[in-house]
Amino acid sequence: VTIEGEHKGGMVLDFADLKKVVREALAKYDHRDWNEALEYPSVENICELLQKDLNAKLRFPFHVRVWEGHGKWAEL
């Protein structure tokens, strides 16, 4: 996850806060089959799902990148 925004106090967002939000979003999919969450679990669809989950918690522009393998990813 990459974020964009104005620097306030030397940073856009405390990294610990971002890490917490991302971990919470990922926790519900940990040790689960992606086929249970998505009809077609491509990296593009996983990326879109995670972006929707994070959109409710992050109040500024951000991008989500999901890696499938070396040199293969989707980003929204």
Instruction: Specify the pLDDT at position 49.
Output: 96
- Report yes or no on whether pTM surpasses 0.75: yes
CATH number listed for the domain at residues 2-75:
3.30.479.10
When comparing pLDDT for 13 and 39, which is higher? 39
pLDDT bucket at 13, cuts 50 / 70 / 90? confident
* Phi, psi torsion values for 50, nearest 5 degrees: -65, -35
Q: Is the pLDDT of residue 8 over 90?
A: no
Q: Where are the domains of the chain?
A: 2-75
Average pLDDT, the chain: 92
Burial class of 64 by CB neighbour count within 10 A (0 to 12, 13 to 18, 19+)? buried
In this predicted structure, the answer to whether residue 12 has a pLDDT above a threshold of 90 is no
Q: What is the DSSP letter of 39?
A: S
